[in-house]
Amino acid sequence: MDFFDLITSQGVFRVNNPQDLIAGKLRLPSPPAIAIRILEMVRNDDFSINDLARVIESDPALVARILKMANSPYYNRVRKIANIEMALTVLGTHAVKNIALSFVICTNMKVDGSKGFDVDLYWRRAITAAVAADLVAEFLGMRKPDIFVTALLQDIGIVVFNLCCQKEYRLVMNEKLTSSLHLHEVEQNCFGFDHQALGAELLKNWQLPEEVYLPIQHHHRNDQDFDRQDFDRFRIETEIVQLSDCLSSIYHGRQSAEKIRLLKNKFDTWYGIQGDSVDRLIDDVACKSLEVFSSFDICPGDMRPFSLILQEANEELTNLNSSYELLVIELKQAKEKAEKLASELHDVNANLQEIAFRDALTGLYNHRYFQESLEKELNRTNRYQSEFSLFIFDIDHFKKINDTYGHPAGDRVLAAIARGGEQCLRNTDIMARYGGEEFVVIMPETNLDGANIVAERLRRAIECLEITVDGVEIKATVSVGVTYYRHGARMQGKEAILSMADKGLYIAKQSGRNRVHAMRIAGT
């Protein structure tokens, strides 16, 4: 079938798949020559910084834009970056490659904006999404060097549709305005494929890496629509691109309040993240995007900080016409009263939750919180194919301390050891009172050797503690059992991991106490 064969009275057409389109049924943009040279260069494992610099320097306009971006507040560099070699050294080849590709593709993908396609809005949304993806990856503590380019190009299929078949695509856009379907669903109905598939196929044809084009292929779909193999390989990249699209639409779309709700729901469902940290992330996206727009020569339009969007949303609730002024005043007062009550309830609930999860004597997390945290860490490790370590430690001869100095003195020793132990750990580690004189520590993203070092440091720190009760110095030591878990280990479940750490503790006790013993789980 010819690509322009009409199959409906509206003139909508269909091809079997985007591969047919890429293969020549319709002429698509070719990859810019300098982009090809950059990609070929970085695919070669033994390329040098000087070689890559020479390729980039062959395009003076590109050099100027890269240096402008590298010296922008976005990268927050104190020292001025004066040339491409310096940019490659300071920012890294990955960052400079991605900046260069972003500029080259944006410059070459020109669309006639006079026929209903808002080019500036498209690139504002794309750049905001790219910045958002970078910030989300950082927010989640994950290093994803290609995520800026992936998010920037996530909707490049829309540009291709407008370049190749603008008249027909305008029918799609018109139908979207009157339909409850998402844009990619309307495209699928009309063309047989959507802008996700088209964009991914184009970038694959341009020989961009899988890390870029495969997340783009899936970023609007629900879980049941995914190619499971591709999705499992690039799950986190796909999720970050979805979040970046949602963040961008908050600033450049309609129904911002609904988009904010959807975004927060995704953070909560996928990562268990709630509260003000997500609000700060949304606000950071606007601030950072404004820093980047000028580097791309894109007008920021009326993009405003998140705080103003929230303020305007609240004002909409009270902006009724003059005939309802009294009702508005009463509503505002009731709203303020409700907000105050909600704030007070939030504070009370937060305090109650803190009390519920804290051990009253030591101030550490309690056994219940530890069990929930271990379950979450185990799920996270399996989901992201990661690792963590865990160790249990027990105060040596604690009964003797209680019998000799009394239980109040024993309580003082427990509290002192809790404080001393916490000082040896990172903010991301979780230390809890396991029960009696036993304590437990979860160390995310830590292998067995790393946990052993920390456990030994903690043991020595406690051995050196000066604990004085009623003028009497009490010395205490601990024995420590360490274990380690990673995705794919044969031994599964919390109980198995705790049992292995407990065996290590038992061996440390039997070997003379005041020592660390590590146990390796089979398959790690």
Provide the CATH number for the domain around residue 401. 3.30.70.270
What three-state secondary structure class fits 491?
Answer: coil
Q: Is residue 184 part of a domain?
A: no
Separation between Cα atoms, residue 216 and residue 213, nearest integer Å: 5
Q: What is the DSSP string of 382-450?
A: HHTT-EEEEEEEEETTHHHHHHHH-HHHHHHHHHHHHHHHHTTS-TT-EEEEEETTEEEEEEET--HHH
Phi, psi (deg, nearest 5) at residue 514: 55, 50
Alpha-carbon distance of 345 to 357, in angstroms, equals: 18
From 354, 380, 406, the end of a domain falls on: 354
**Would residue 52 count as lying in a domain?**
no
Cβ(406)–Cβ(473) below 8 Å: no
Residue at 313 is within a domain: no
Higher pLDDT, 339 or 486: 486
* Residue whose C-alpha is closest to residue 127's, from 71, 74, 172: 74
Q: Are residues 340 and 371 in the same domain?
A: no
**Domain check: are 494 and 445 in the same one?**
yes
For residues 339 and 383, membership in a common domain is answered with no
Q: Strand 387-395: give its sheet, edge to edge.
A: 430-435, 438-444, 387-395, 478-486, 516-520
Inter-CA distances, 233 with 129, 207, 270, 335, 445, Å: 22, 19, 17, 47, 19
What pLDDT score was predicted for residue 229?
A: 62
> In this prediction, what percent of the chain has a pLDDT beyond 90?
40
Pair (491, 383) in one structural domain: yes
pLDDT of 326 higher than 80: no
Model confidence band, residue 16 (pLDDT cutoffs 50, 70, 90): low
| Rounded-to-integer distance, Cα 144 and Cα 205, Å | 22
Return the closest-CA partner of residue 42 out of 209, 205, 212: 209
Residue 298 main-chain phi, psi, to 5 deg:
-110, 130
Q: Does 446 lie in the same domain as 477?
A: yes
Answer yes or no: do 459 and 432 share one domain.
yes
Would the pTM count as exceeding 0.75?
A: no
Burial of residue 483 (CB within 10 Å: 0-12, 13-18, 19+) is buried
Residue 328 lies in domain = 320-354
373 & 514 share domain:
yes
What is the structure's pLDDT at 305?
73
Other CB atoms within 10 A of residue 337 CB: 10
88 lies in some domain: no
Average pLDDT value for residue range 60-75: 84
Q: With beta carbons less than 8 A apart as the criterion, state whether 41 and 94 touch.
A: no
Confidence of residue 327 (pLDDT cuts 50, 70, 90): low
Token pair 């009964």 is found at 399
**Exposure string over 164-174, b if 16+ CB within 10 A, otherwise e:** bbeebbebbbe
Query: How far is Cα 217 from Cα 197, in angstroms, rounded to an integer?
Result: 5
Question: Do 210 and 234 contact (CB within 8 A), yes or no?
Answer: yes
- Give 354's Cβ-side CA count (13 Å radius): 7
Q: What percent of the chain has pLDDT over 70?
A: 83
Tokens of 108: 């070459």
Residues 6 or more apart whose CB falls under 8 angstroms from that of 311 comprise none
Residue 327 falls inside a structural domain = yes
379 and 488 housed in the same domain: yes
Among the candidates 333, 354, 375, a domain finishes at 354
Q: Is residue 296 part of a domain?
A: no
| Beta strands 516-520 and 478-486, pairing class | parallel
Q: For 383-393, how does the pLDDT look when each residue is reduced to its tens digit (9 = 90+)?
A: 999 999 999 99
Distance CA 112, CA 517 (A): 69
Whether 410 is in a domain gets the answer yes
Residues facing residue 441 across a β-bridge: 391, 431
* 375 and 497 together in one domain: yes
Tell me how many domains the chain contains. Answer: 2
Could you give the maximum distance between any two Cα atoms of the chain, in Å?
95
Same domain, 342 and 403: no
Q: What is the pLDDT of residues 200-233, one digit of tens each?
A: 988 888 888 898 999 998 888 755 455 556 667 8
Same domain flag for 347 and 375: no
> Residue 350 has what pLDDT?
65
User: 349 and 411 share a domain?
Assistant: no
Residue with more model confidence, 314 or 334? 334
pLDDT of res. 65? 84
Q: Read off the pLDDT of residues 51-67 as tens digits, 9 standing for 90 and up.
A: 888 888 888 888 888 88
The confidence score (pLDDT) of residue 374 equals: 96
> For the chain, what is the mean pLDDT?
83
Q: Is 199 exposed, middle or buried (0-12, 13-18, 19+ CB in 10 A)?
A: buried
Band (8; pLDDT cuts 50, 70, 90): very low
Q: Give 204 or 452, the one with higher predicted confidence.
A: 452
222 lies in some domain: no
N-terminal to C-terminal alpha carbon distance within the chain: 55
